[in-house]
Structure 1
Amino acid sequence: MADIDNRIALVIPAYEPSGRLAALLEELVLLWPGPIVVVDDGSSASCSVVFDRARALGATVLVHGLNRGKGAALKTAFSYLLEQVPTVAGAVTADADGQHLPADIRAVARELGLHQDSLVLGCRRFDGNGVPARSKLGNNFMLGAMRVLCGVDVSDTQTGLRGLPASLMRRMLAVVRDGYEFETEMLVLARRAGGIFEVPITTVYEGDNEASHFRPVVDSLRVLGVLFSAFARYTLSSLCTSLLDWALFSALVLLWSHGVATSAAIVWATVVARVVSAFVNYMLNRNIVFKADNSSCSRSLCRYIALCAACMLASAALVLLISVALPIPVFIIKPFVDTALFFANYRIQQSWVFE
């Protein structure tokens, strides 16, 4: 037991668990030095024998009167540990369906002890013959979506075997999502916090994974909602600041064109409107789009200004080069160039400006 920090808890969210949960706890209880918390997420009365066995084995069982979702169950456990066990250094979360072997759960706990600021993932391999097709396809799709939309590069986005430091547990309490998408939010938050560390684990699927309560359509859509939320906010932020730029430019031209030459009014109105709208866009992206409130404001602002300058130069250069190479009018080329830069800008802001 000395190889696992006794300040690391084990958390198991459970909805309609089978005897596999009791069997897992029977193997782990003598090997786990820290607290063990099981959350009954609104299971039926027929499962009471399983939770009674968990109590008898020394686990703390927290109960939801109604099924609230895996994320809500994890938050209940995290809140309990942070409030009732002040010395807790972190928690390892494991599923109740028998897919995580005791040796792998302990391996994640050991790595959490070594990487106390990082999210530790127990990552499965999806290239074996025993892996259900829906799990293979789902993981591959999620890998690509996570990389492109969230800048998260991991080999297993769906694993429930995770080690969280206490700092990340606290941050997860503020997440409003309560279903499986809660774990996707965890990956996004961890990328910016202490990073993500992977531990290879055994891939176990029982009977085509029928014990899982994951709903392929509903829960997948909710997870995708998490992935696309930042890009949707980025698009809305860009639209709002573009409207602000146009409105401010128009107002200043009308105000100043009476006292100065029209050309001068246009130049100054353009400069003032662009500076104001760019600063507003920076603040929206920093605090709402990418939620980088803890990052260095001076550093991110300098990088944002550099990126804006680079994008303007890139737009001009690409429009010029394409117009020279192809017999296409520049007013047709520019929207395509700026659209490509819009997507590139998103990824650069996400991974560099507001890292």
Structure 2
Amino acid sequence: MNDGSEDDLIFSKIQQNYSKVKILTHEKNRGKGQALKTGFNFILTNKTNIKGVATIDSDGQHKVVDLKKLEHHFMKHMNDLIIGSRNFGKDVPLRSKVGNIVTNQLVNLLTGIKVSDTQTGLRIVPIKYIKQLITFSSNRYEFEFDMLLATKKAGINIREVPIQTVYLDNNATSHFRVIADSLSIYSRFFKFAFSGMGSFLIDIVCFYIFIYLMVGKSGNAILLATIIARLCSAIFNYIMNKKFVFSTSNSQPLIKYVVLMLSQMLISGLLTTLLTHLARQMYETGWITLIKIIVDSFLFLISYQIQKHIVFKKVVRSNAA
């Protein structure tokens, strides 16, 4: 795939020496994700008997022998996503090591998907998953990241195959833009965190004010303050998540969101009340607020998963190919 490269010498040599190779070209650079989607779409349109598609980076990081290892595993598991996982030892460039460690831990924390190499470009993708991948909106390095994140929703298992770790000239040939592409990869989490933090602050401030006004005046002060505060923050959170975090066109998330919000609100109120009783701090506004912050921090992670996979779940059309 020639993604807008100004130097087409390598592609000319490939075409001369391997006449059966089909080279697809973008007139200008459109990103790694779009390049993969262009290739996938070509396969779907012209190669109807294909069971899976292999992807491999062109910067010399992957070996043919490792591709054959992945092919061997794919022949036994043709419905799974097979990825080549590198071992990030002391000889790996720092930016590559740090980027993979951070991404791996983030994926594990927020999705429960345990993958040791989230940024590997050596993969074999089953044809049934490719039909969904070409509908993804991501076009650059985040596309491969989204490919992993969406496996659970698509019912795709991930199988890791150990491969060699090769970096030429300290990975100088990589086109990965450390700041720009990292922000692109993590943008969904950043936006959700911003949305959550904004609504969290609104919720906590309102809760503190209402608990200050009602404490000692009602036996249900904590629950009432929780309800009022959550209603104040819910509108902000819903609009942010629907428009900017998950960017869904689905017109029916409101009811699901309300059910989630009410459930989360009730659990938060009951747990805060229970823990406040156990701590014997029923009349200390500061302690009550601190306990609520701890409770809602745990509920935050659970809420992300529910909103991503249920509330704002994107509709994938079966005729997308």
Alignment TM-score, normalising by the size of structure 1: 0.65
Q: CA deviation at 1:232?
A: 4.4
Give the aligned residue type for 1:118: D
The percent identity for this pair of structures is 32
| Structure 2 match to 1:124 | 86
In 2: Cα distance, 1:148 partner to 1:212 partner: 27
Give the aligned residue type for 1:162: R
Match of 1:320 among 277, 280, 290: 277
Higher RCO (CA < 8 A, seq sep 6+): 2
In 2: Cα distance, 1:132 partner to 1:339 partner: 39
Give the aligned residue type for 1:226: R
Partner of 2:115, secondary structure, is coil
In 1: Cα distance, 2:199 partner to 2:75 partner: 40
Match of 1:97 among 44, 59, 62: 59
Partner of 1:339, secondary structure, is helix
In 1: Cα distance, 2:198 partner to 2:74 partner: 38
In 2: Cα distance, 1:273 partner to 1:220 partner: 35
In structure 2, runs of 5+ residues without a counterpart are 208-222, 251-255, 310-321
Give the aligned residue type for 1:77: G
Q: CA deviation at 1:192?
A: 2.8
In 2: Cα distance, 1:125 partner to 1:222 partner: 24
Q: CA deviation at 1:177?
A: 2.1
Asked whether the equivalents of residues 150 and 227 of structure 1 are also in contact (C-alpha less than 8 Å), the reply is: no
Alignment of 1:230-241 (within 5 A): 230-232=192-194
Q: CA deviation at 1:304?
A: 8.3
Alignment of 1:1-355 (within 5 A): 39-45=1-7, 47-54=8-15, 56-57=17-18, 58-127=20-89, 129-193=90-154, 194-232=156-194, 309-324=266-281, 329-351=283-305
Asked whether the equivalents of residues 3 and 26 of structure 2 are also in contact (C-alpha less than 8 Å), the reply is: yes
Evaluate the alpha carbon distance shift between residue 49 and residue 118 of structure 1 in structure 2; reply closer, same or farther with a 3 A threshold. closer
Partner of 1:178, secondary structure, is coil
Q: CA deviation at 1:178?
A: 1.4
Q: CA deviation at 1:233?
A: 5.3
Asked whether the equivalents of residues 290 and 354 of structure 1 are also in contact (C-alpha less than 8 Å), the reply is: yes
Give the aligned residue type for 2:101: N
In 2: Cα distance, 1:319 partner to 1:216 partner: 45
In 2: Cα distance, 1:338 partner to 1:117 partner: 44
Asked whether the equivalents of residues 304 and 353 of structure 1 are also in contact (C-alpha less than 8 Å), the reply is: no
In 1: Cα distance, 2:81 partner to 2:199 partner: 30
In 2: Cα distance, 1:271 partner to 1:221 partner: 35
In 2: Cα distance, 1:271 partner to 1:134 partner: 45
Q: CA deviation at 1:352?
A: 6.8
In 2: Cα distance, 1:174 partner to 1:273 partner: 38
Partner of 1:153, secondary structure, is coil
Q: CA deviation at 1:234?
A: 5.3
In 2: Cα distance, 1:68 partner to 1:154 partner: 27
Q: CA deviation at 1:236?
A: 6.9
In 1: Cα distance, 2:53 partner to 2:129 partner: 10
Q: CA deviation at 1:182?
A: 1.4
In 2: Cα distance, 1:284 partner to 1:291 partner: 9
Asked whether the equivalents of residues 191 and 244 of structure 2 are also in contact (C-alpha less than 8 Å), the reply is: no
Asked whether the equivalents of residues 151 and 347 of structure 1 are also in contact (C-alpha less than 8 Å), the reply is: no
In 1: Cα distance, 2:102 partner to 2:37 partner: 27
Evaluate the alpha carbon distance shift between residue 334 and residue 54 of structure 1 in structure 2; reply closer, same or farther with a 3 A threshold. farther
